[in-house]
Amino acid sequence: MTSRERMLAALDFKEPDYIPCSFMIFTALKERCADEFEFVEKELELGLDAHLSLGDLPIRFAPEVSIREWKEHPPGKERPILHKEYATPAGKLTAITRQTQDWPYHDHIPLFDDYLAPRSLKFLITGPQDLPALRSLLAAPEDEDIRDFREAALGAKRFARDKGLLLAGGWSSGPRPDETSIIGSDPGTMGIDALMWLSGPVNPLYWAYDQPDFLEELIDIIALWNRRRMEVILDVGVDLLIKRAWYEGCDFWSPALYRKFIAPVLKEDIKLTHQAGARFGYIITSGIMPLLEDFLELGIDVIIGIDPVQGKGTDLRLLQETLGGKICLWGGVNGFITIERGRPEEIKKAVKEAIEALASGGGFILSPVDNVRDTSDGTWQNVLTFIDAWKEFRKP
């Protein structure tokens, strides 16, 4: 089998020649490479079932939007305060953030980033009065960007075809953002992740009870903007559409709130993906166990990020019992604690246990979760130990 055939067999619960291993994120290797193509070549040299990810569409603001940024040094405060103002035809949006010592964006506040959550003094969206300006800010993809994306996708599809690789779109782990970036983290296809960056991780949970109509409208604005971008990606023809959903699990939301606010959007995203002939991948690494029946009902094709260590409450055998043969499971071994910090015997044991628990009847792709970032020699040896263990146990 080619890697693409092997990955598709796992996604479709058919029996591959052996269990595929495809890293969901591999920053330690990616940052050594000039581009996505070199990165994939290096993965293939390691024997992995690399998948090729299309780049993301640029996020641009409408031409009518102007941005103003400034920095203050409050008396008696050790660190400066950053301000950002978006002036749109429908009103202004403002954000205020502490510029901590580890702040990676110089004197800028990005639109999206995990750094915002613990450092923001004022988030961009604070109430219903901000919705008209947000609609104006989140513009549809521009024609020129769509043309460039389609042209780049043609080259990517040729490369994937020649190498026998699965082609994925919607999200990929990009390089660390430049300090001047106005966007921030590699956003990709998303929903609640964007909500948390725009509003903070606490406010939406209050709004779910105190202002549910406002929260629903805010989520719908993000979903519409996101879906316009999905349509462009799906139109070029991908095997797998990936949506990032790190903030959609029950570490944040109760099952009831998930069903009320998140599931309806997800259902439409999955419907759009399936109409385009692609499979739907859902990156969610913790807080998934109360939602398994919901995932089945929604029609998700693959859960990306099965983490038995840092995924709160994740039970590998119960996952297989509930989702086996119905939803593909991608992951199985923790990246940070097991791969980066573990001993060789612990890594080998974790690989063996993941395969024994999740691979019965197909529908499993092995990967560290979420990522392997550390570039030290010790971690690299652990990566090689992980790959050797996979090769030893990959034919159950």
Claim to verify: residue 321 and residue 382 sit in the same structural domain: yes
Claim to verify: residue 132 and residue 143 sit in the same structural domain: no
Claim to verify: residue 285 and residue 373 sit in the same structural domain: yes
| pLDDT tens figures, 299-335 | 999 999 999 999 999 999 999 999 999 999 999 999 9
Q: Identify whether 198 is part of a domain.
A: no
| pLDDT tens figures, 363-387 | 999 999 999 999 999 999 999 999 9
Q: Which amino acid is at 214?
A: F
Check residue 181 and give its pLDDT. 62
177 has a pLDDT exceeding 70: no
Q: Identify whether 199 is part of a domain.
A: no
Could you give phi then psi for residue 60, rounded to 5 degrees? -125, 155
Beta bridge partners of 367: 332
185 has a pLDDT exceeding 80: no
Q: Domain boundary at 137, 156, 171, which?
A: 137
Check residue 381 and give its pLDDT. 97
Claim to verify: residue 103 and residue 231 sit in the same structural domain: no
d(CA 363, CA 375): 31
Check residue 58 and give its pLDDT. 87
Claim to verify: residue 235 and residue 331 sit in the same structural domain: yes
The tokens for 67 are 């941005």
Claim to verify: residue 131 and residue 17 sit in the same structural domain: no
Q: Does the global pTM surpass 0.85? A: yes
207 has a pLDDT exceeding 70: yes
Claim to verify: residue 319 and residue 283 sit in the same structural domain: yes
| pLDDT tens figures, 66-110 | 999 999 999 888 899 999 999 999 999 999 999 999 999 999 999
Claim to verify: residue 90 and residue 128 sit in the same structural domain: yes
Q: Identify whether 332 is part of a domain.
A: yes
Across the range 257-276, mean pLDDT stands at 98
Across the range 36-40, mean pLDDT stands at 95
Claim to verify: residue 243 and residue 132 sit in the same structural domain: no
Q: Domain boundary at 106, 137, 168, which?
A: 137
More confident residue, 174 or 259: 259
Question: Average pLDDT over the chain, rounded to whole?
Answer: 94
Question: Domain range for residue 385?
Answer: 3-58+139-180+226-250+260-393
| pLDDT tens figures, 5-22 | 999 999 999 989 999 999
63 has a pLDDT exceeding 90: no
Which candidate, 368, 338, 357, places its Cα nearest to that of 396?
357
d(CA 192, CA 188): 12
Q: Identify whether 237 is part of a domain.
A: yes
Check residue 176 and give its pLDDT. 63
Q: 327 to each of 12, 154, 356, 367, how far by Cα in Å?
A: 9, 30, 17, 16
Which candidate, 26, 23, 20, 15, places its Cα nearest to that of 2?
20
Query: Domain tally for the chain?
Result: 2
| pLDDT tens figures, 128-165 | 999 999 999 999 999 999 999 999 999 999 999 999 99
Q: Identify whether 215 is part of a domain.
A: no
Region label for 100, one of left (φ > 0), alpha (ψ between -120 and 50) or beta (otherwise): beta
Strand order in the sheet with 66-72: 66-72, 81-88, 91-98, 120-122
> Where does the pLDDT of residue 360 fall: very low under 50, low under 70, confident under 90, or very high at 90 and above?
confident
Claim to verify: residue 81 and residue 159 sit in the same structural domain: no
> Where does the pLDDT of residue 178 fall: very low under 50, low under 70, confident under 90, or very high at 90 and above?
low
Claim to verify: residue 95 and residue 15 sit in the same structural domain: no
What CATH number corresponds to the domain at position 325?
3.20.20.210
